[in-house]
């Protein structure tokens, strides 16, 4: 007689694997801690800037969009090369890992240089794309010119952090990053308000604080990395500047779709922000306030997604494809379950968070409604993060990821958001609801791809 297991028993059996949890939490917890500190202190910085009024909040938020674009392009390059480093670490190929680091570093610095030039010479023109408010553009342009000096330090740090994470060394990046974030918060307080014996620079003080803290972060990370000669990231100048056209093409072939993915997706998100800003200063201010809580809500899922990418990539590189598929499925399930719980927390924190801001009642009302809608979609967005970043990319399925993440936003989300804002003249919270149609589409297509197993590719064999 066949015994049918209860659903809860099946779930228990599916997750009854101490080795999986040991590996996932070893990487996810430090990354989650790092993102928690980042999001908390970022919220503190926004609250401090918010004391200067909604123009300051909107200006810094729009200037931050340039950094947001840079961040995503660097993430595309680093996570693309990270596919190789995770799989190469599965077979402990340190020599090729260091060559990949060199390529990643060169691409990252070149990208930072482009964004730096734009921010220095065309800040007002760029910010005018987002807003027609002259005062917001003036304040944001001045902020961006100072802020952009930190792009180079950030690019170097980004490249090294991804290599360290992919090789299982998450402790050093977290410690250095947490130090940098606390330094940034202290300097922001001092330079914005003229406290702690520092001059008062207002909004520009926040930009200067970022540059100083990014410089300190970069120097300390490099010093600690090269203090350990056995570190996979302690590459020599010769290894960092190594160039072989065949090698570069093997690496770039899957990396290019990831970079394009991030570019298309980031410009899609930028288009969303243009839509919000064109709806009015109150609308973009409400979205910027919501973003601070949204960042906090996703700290665990960022850690889970990155940890899944690393351990799944390690298993594929070691030739253990079945275990890789199993591990990815477990992480997707965790994202869905914890996403529901996180949504409940977001609902509970709406009023306490909004009470911190010195903005108009209209901005508070809009932000409250946006947070309410977002709370019910946390599980959906979290699942997509693990499916795309933690699963499909780690398996080298970068072209499908490009279609899923880079194209769907333009085919579904952006058209619906634009129609809602400018044709049907919907309020900001309903426009945001239309944006979430993109997430539902990605979830359905991404889950089908996961079950197909077509995303599993051993790229380590090609190097």
DSSP symbols for 206-241: HHHHHHHHHHHHHHHHHHHHHT-TT-TT---HHHHT
384 CB-contact burial (10 Å; exposed 0-12 / middle 13-18 / buried 19+):
buried
Which phi and psi (to 5°) does residue 72 adopt? -75, -35
The pLDDT value given to residue 41: 64
What is the C-alpha to C-alpha distance for residues 234 and 226, in angstroms, rounded to an integer? Answer: 5
pLDDT over 70 at 314, yes or no: yes
The pLDDT value given to residue 357: 80
Question: Do 388 and 378 form a contact (C-beta atoms < 8 A)?
Answer: no
What's the pLDDT band for 50 if we cut at 50, 70, 90? low
pLDDT over 70 at 417, yes or no: yes
Task: Choose the weakest-confidence range: 192-196, 356-360, 411-415.
Answer: 356-360
363 CB-contact burial (10 Å; exposed 0-12 / middle 13-18 / buried 19+):
buried
pLDDT over 90 at 69, yes or no: no
The pLDDT value given to residue 218: 93
What is the C-alpha to C-alpha distance for residues 257 and 81, in angstroms, rounded to an integer? Answer: 11
pLDDT in tens, 196-243: 888 888 888 888 998 999 999 999 999 998 988 778 888 888 888 887
**Rounded mean pLDDT of 126-131?**
81
pTM over 0.85: no
Q: Check residue 412 and report its DSSP letter.
A: I
Question: Do 239 and 100 form a contact (C-beta atoms < 8 A)?
Answer: no
The pLDDT value given to residue 1: 44
pLDDT over 90 at 429, yes or no: yes
The pLDDT value given to residue 5: 56
**Rounded mean pLDDT of 94-121?**
89
The token duo for 283 is 């609308």
CA 297, 409, 427, 377 torsion: positive or negative? negative
Task: Choose the weakest-confidence range: 27-41, 296-310, 378-392.
Answer: 27-41
What is the C-alpha to C-alpha distance for residues 280 and 398, in angstroms, rounded to an integer? Answer: 37
Range of 232-241, 268-277, 319-328, 436-445 with top mean pLDDT: 436-445
Place of tokens 């077979």: 91
Place of tokens 């899922």: 301
pLDDT in tens, 5-20: 556 677 777 788 888 8
pLDDT over 60 at 4, yes or no: no
131 CB-contact burial (10 Å; exposed 0-12 / middle 13-18 / buried 19+):
buried
The pLDDT value given to residue 441: 95
The pLDDT value given to residue 418: 95
pLDDT in tens, 434-446: 999 999 999 999 9
Range of 257-261, 316-320, 342-346, 455-459 with top mean pLDDT: 342-346
What's the chain's length in residues? 463
What is the C-alpha to C-alpha distance for residues 309 and 327, in angstroms, rounded to an integer? Answer: 10
What is the C-alpha to C-alpha distance for residues 55 and 52, in angstroms, rounded to an integer? Answer: 8
DSSP symbols for 312-342: HHHHHHTT-HHHHHHHHHHHHHHHHHHHHHH
The pLDDT value given to residue 162: 83
Question: Do 458 and 316 form a contact (C-beta atoms < 8 A)?
Answer: yes
pLDDT in tens, 136-163: 888 888 888 998 999 999 999 988 988 8
The pLDDT value given to residue 394: 86
What is the C-alpha to C-alpha distance for residues 394 and 59, in angstroms, rounded to an integer? Answer: 37
Which of 155, 166, 139 minimizes the C-alpha distance to 57?
139
**Rounded mean pLDDT of 333-355?**
92
For 392, residues 6+ apart whose C-beta sits below 8 A from its C-beta are 398, 400, 401, 404, 446, 449, 450, 455
What is the C-alpha to C-alpha distance for residues 292 and 350, in angstroms, rounded to an integer? Answer: 11
Q: Check residue 420 and report its DSSP letter.
A: I
Place of tokens 């914890």: 338
Which phi and psi (to 5°) does residue 51 adopt? -70, -15
For 329, residues 6+ apart whose C-beta sits below 8 A from its C-beta are 14, 450
The pLDDT value given to residue 229: 73
DSSP symbols for 67-98: HHHHHHHHHHHHHHHHHHHHHHHHTT-HHHHH
DSSP symbols for 10-65: HHHHHH--HHHHHHHHHHHHHHHHHHHHHHHHHHHHHHHHHTT-HHHHHHHHHHHH
The token duo for 35 is 């993102």
The pLDDT value given to residue 411: 95
């Amino acid at each position: 007689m066949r015994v049918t297991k209860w659903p809860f028993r099946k779930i228990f059996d599916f997750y009854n694997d101490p080795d999986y949890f040991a590996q996932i939490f070893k990487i996810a917890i430090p990354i989650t801690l790092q993102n928690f500190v980042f999001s908390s202190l970022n919220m503190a910085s926004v609250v401090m800037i918010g004391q200067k009024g909604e123009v300051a909040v909107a200006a810094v938020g729009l200037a931050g969009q340039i950094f947001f674009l840079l961040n995503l392009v660097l993430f595309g390059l680093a996570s693309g090369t990270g596919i190789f480093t995770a799989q190469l670490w599965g077979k402990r190929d340190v020599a090729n890992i260091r060559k990949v680091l060199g390529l990643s570093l060169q691409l990252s610095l070149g990208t930072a240089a482009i964004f730096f030039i734009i921010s220095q010479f065309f800040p007002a023109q760029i910010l005018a794309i987002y807003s027609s408010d002259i005062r917001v553009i003036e304040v944001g342009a001045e902020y961006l010119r100072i802020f952009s000096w930190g792009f180079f330090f950030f690019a170097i740090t980004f490249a090294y952090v991804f290599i360290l994470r992919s090789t299982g060394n998450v402790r050093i990046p977290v410690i250095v990053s947490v130090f940098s974030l606390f330094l940034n918060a202290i300097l922001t307080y001092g330079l914005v308000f003229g406290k702690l014996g520092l001059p008062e620079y207002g909004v520009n003080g926040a930009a200067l604080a970022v540059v100083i803290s990014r410089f300190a972060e970069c120097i300390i990370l490099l010093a600690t990395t090269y203090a350990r000669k056995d570190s996979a990231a302690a590459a020599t100048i010769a290894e960092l500047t190594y160039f072989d056209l065949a090698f570069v093409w093997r690496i770039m072939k899957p990396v290019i779709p990831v970079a394009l993915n991030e570019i298309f997706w980031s410009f899609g998100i930028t288009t969303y922000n243009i839509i919000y800003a064109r709806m009015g200063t109150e609308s973009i201010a409400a979205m910027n306030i919501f973003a601070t809580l949204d960042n906090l809500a996703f700290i665990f899922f960022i850690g889970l997604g990155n940890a899944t990418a690393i351990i799944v990539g390690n298993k594929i590189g070691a030739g253990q494809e079945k275990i890789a598929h199993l591990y990815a499925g477990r992480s997707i399930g965790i994202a869905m379950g914890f996403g529901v719980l996180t949504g409940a927390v977001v609902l509970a924190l709406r009023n306490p968070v909004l009470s911190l801001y010195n903005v108009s009642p209209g901005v508070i009302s809009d932000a409250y409604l946006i947070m309410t809608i977002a709370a019910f979609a946390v599980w959906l967005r979290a699942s997509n993060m693990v499916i795309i970043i933690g699963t499909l990319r780690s398996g080298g399925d970068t072209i499908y990821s490009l279609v899923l993440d880079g194209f769907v936003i333009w085919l579904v989300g952006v058209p619906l958001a634009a129609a809602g804002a400018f044709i049907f003249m919907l309020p900001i919270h309903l426009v945001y609801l239309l944006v979430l149609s993109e997430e539902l589409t990605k979830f359905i297509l991404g889950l089908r791809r996961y079950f197909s197993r077509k995303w599993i590719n051993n790229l380590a064999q090609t190097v």
